[in-house]
Structure 1
Amino acid sequence: MSKVLITGMSGTGKSTALRILDSRGHRTVDTDYGRWSHEVTLSDGSSDWVWREEAMTDLLTGHEEGGLFVAGCKSNQGKFYPQFDHVVLLSAPAEMLLARVMTRTNNPYGKRPEERAAILENLRVVEPLLRATATMEIDTSAPIEQVVRQLEGLASLRSSRC
């Protein structure tokens, strides 16, 4: 069974898709929470929220049965791409992302003007980088059920990476 990374900007539906996949019995990990990520200070003094590399290595090397869906968008995730069978970029138009983050109740990120500006900047700068390295892109302006069906279809497929 496959290891699938679900990545994308805030508001694309990563957490929603993960919750549905989990409710259907798939193994899921949301790297925005718990032991999977932590804040680091960069050489320029700024901070970044990155994957805990030891925890992610243990997760990916230790997973042997069934499909695994991992969701997140971290600056160091590319180090782990070779361990995933599929890297799926979830995307949606900017207006939809901003509307979603304003109305969601499970995550406060995106409510403040500076966070909304950061989402738009990440859409401009980061999303093209994710698109260039993804093995598949799913437009989440489609109904969530359709998005989840596409993700579930990957669970039994082995690597599509070159």
Structure 2
Amino acid sequence: MTETRARDAQRQRVYAWEDRVIAPHGGGMIAFAAAQPMVDAIWAELGLRFPPKVEPLPHQARRRIADADRLRLRLPAACPPWVLLHELAHSLTSTAEGASDGHGADFVGLYLQLLIRYLRLDRARLLASLDAAGIAVNLDARPRFLDRPA
């Protein structure tokens, strides 16, 4: 359990950074029905196969707006684009066996790549804001499941 806490030590800093820096650029909302085609398209653009499945977030989920692992993204009826990208970064930094980077440097690195590519946010501004927030980022992050032997 200690490893999980240490691994996700950035969680609250990432959430605060998102609220301050990313959420204001959220744009419109993505309807649940549009999420799977978007996930499929982004996954394919990244050169990956077998994208995670988009499922409804359970109604009893009160403390989270979405969640994800390698095999699924659970989303509400509608969400801002940055939420979908956040959860997609979780899918990219997880394995089917449940190993995850949490909100670590690899997660932030892949999330940053998605924000730049799909929301067209300025890389230099994002890097400066991450540094100011004390958030570690791996600029060379790759999907975690690609690092596993075949």
TM-score (norm 1): 0.27
| Structure with the larger RCO, 1 or 2 (CA within 8 Å, 6+ apart) | 1
**Higher strand proportion (structure 1 or 2):** 1
**Higher helix proportion (structure 1 or 2):** 2
User: Quick check: which has more Rg, 1 or 2?
Assistant: 1
TM-score (norm 2): 0.28
